[in-house]
Structure 1
């Protein structure tokens, strides 16, 4: 079959990868010269540890296996099996980590480490903390290079064409028409347009059970030594469903977040890039319209927390940015997938799971459509 994919982010590109792997011909259209949305404005985390038990966790575990297999074939992904440490600095935070580590959920590979074990696993962490929740299933890729690397591998198949700078304006019974007036014919059209929910998407789909979420992040100068794992602070317990339980209730009531992290719905996540720099974040903003600028207070908070865990000042921040992702709002939904017409489907709204789960989401789409 000939499949048209509208959207050049990681979700669209993974749908292209899955289709080509199944023997189909793919044309991928992107309105920008290169993907510029949430697919490159993220941590590159393949984050299994925080996922909700059930379908979401199963999807993340399956996606983790797929990322590893694809990474073996596409070195430009920068896939690494580095795991994650969620550091705890108070007894209330330690109680959450202890409760989670004692749960019978082996799919995540949780283990509670004391401070010495934590520093042995990640010697760059020389700050003051009681220990950490270790998740050996977490991994990382390079978000700025992942899509180009995947496209290069797809092009080598001879069944893939990349068409950037093409905004799709019309959906027809046999394909799409772009803003250059060019028709692209295909048996199936997949819209993987991320947080772009206006224009043609709104015209053909109307209002969707999807919200937009804005975040702030940054990248530092090189750390000067390896950060051998991804790192989170205990505020991440408050934002991921895997950690819910009596101990988290106690943390929320007895140790509420400060004004800045609470006001910006913050956690610290920190991942080292292949060049030695650190990606740090993040905030969450849900009320639109979003501002056009970034707020400096969260960056000060992130630098303070990261420095406390590292035991020295955070390297100088050299890039700051905001990003917006689309999040399905239906209870329990991993992604919003719907038929737009006889030959067209929309797949959007993975939320913060996009980088983690996109390979498995693409497999599920292919199975649902019989591709």
Structure 2
């Protein structure tokens, strides 16, 4: 088949990957010169640990295996199975982690509850004040800023992959896609993986979707100067990930005002250059701010420094981003046929980098690629 994929982010690129690997010809359109949305404005985390039991966890585990396979074939994506450590600083957080470590699927997730000395054996860079940590061996990371070009470079030698950046799609019909240069691309099937761009053509084709947009702030530091051998989360992560079912924590341990206002958790992952990506915040009410505020960065710096037991390296980059999140709690992403031969896939939420290989694989199977 000849498949046209609209959207150069990680979800669109993974659809291209699966289509080409199954022997099809792919034309891949992106409105920017390079992907600049949520796919490159994230931690690069392959995050299994907090996923809800059921389809979400199954998808994340499958995606983790696929990322490892892809990383072995395309080293430029920067995959490493470094695991994660969610650090525990209070008795209430310990209770949540203890319940998680005793859950029936704890072994499948790679969860282990560790005291502070055992945490430091796994990750010696963590020299701060904490009671222990929930270690997840299944978690990993990729280099989100360079993974997509690396994947495209691996597809080009097949002769069945054409990358066309700087092309905004104006019309989609059964059998064809027209971009803003006037070029018409014949297609047996079309996949729209347009991320948080839910207006314009997407609205014309699909109407109002059960998908919301989420705004967040993040930052990257100078090199740490030593390996951070796992990705790191703080206990506020127990509030936001469905695996933990932590209503008791929410009720008994209020967040500091800044963290509560911006719906924050600390996530921290080391880049291959030694710097740390830290975040993040969550905002759901549009219109989103066009500026960034400093208080969340101050909070992240304070928490990260306390867990490291040393000052956080200087922040060198700050940014914000918007991603799309499906409102159906039972769905990993929103996917549907919007017209004959045209399939829309969007709304993986904060699971996009983690789950995109498996979401795209599922599309390939549903569309008989």
TM-score bracket for the superposition, by shorter chain length: over 0.9
Measure, in 1, the Cα distance between the counterparts of 2:93 and 2:213.
Answer: 30
> Mapping of 1:54-133 within 5 angstroms?
54-105=54-105, 106-133=107-134
After superposition, the C-alpha distances for 1:215-258 in whole angstroms (9 at most, x for unaligned) are 100000000000000000000000000000xxx23222221111
- Counterpart in the other structure of 1:173: 174
After superposition, the C-alpha distances for 1:275-331 in whole angstroms (9 at most, x for unaligned) are 000000000000000010111100000000000000011000010000000000123
Which of 254, 259, 262 aligns to 1:261? It is 259
List gaps (5 residues or longer) in structure 1: none
Q: Alpha-carbon deviation of 1:370? A: 1.2
Q: Alpha-carbon deviation of 1:173? A: 2.5
- Counterpart in the other structure of 1:15: 15
After superposition, the C-alpha distances for 1:109-133 in whole angstroms (9 at most, x for unaligned) are 1000010010111111110101000
CA RMSD of aligned residues (A): 0.7
SS at 1:132 equivalent:
strand
TM-score, length basis structure 2: 0.99
Which of 295, 299, 302 aligns to 1:301? It is 299
Measure, in 1, the Cα distance between the counterparts of 2:321 and 2:86.
Answer: 24
- Counterpart in the other structure of 2:190: 189
Which of 341, 348, 352 aligns to 2:346? It is 348
2:155 corresponds to 1:154: yes
Which of 323, 327, 330 aligns to 1:329? It is 327
- Counterpart in the other structure of 1:278: 276
Q: Runs of 4 or more off by more than 6 Å in structure 1? A: none
Measure, in 1, the Cα distance between the counterparts of 2:65 and 2:155.
Answer: 19
2:293 corresponds to 1:292: no
List gaps (5 residues or longer) in structure 2: none
Measure, in 1, the Cα distance between the counterparts of 2:60 and 2:78.
Answer: 19
Measure, in 2, the Cα distance between the counterparts of 1:285 and 1:137.
Answer: 28
Contact 2:173–2:339, Cα closer than 8 Å, also in 1: no
- Counterpart in the other structure of 2:26: 26
Contact 2:97–2:113, Cα closer than 8 Å, also in 1: yes
- Counterpart in the other structure of 1:310: 308
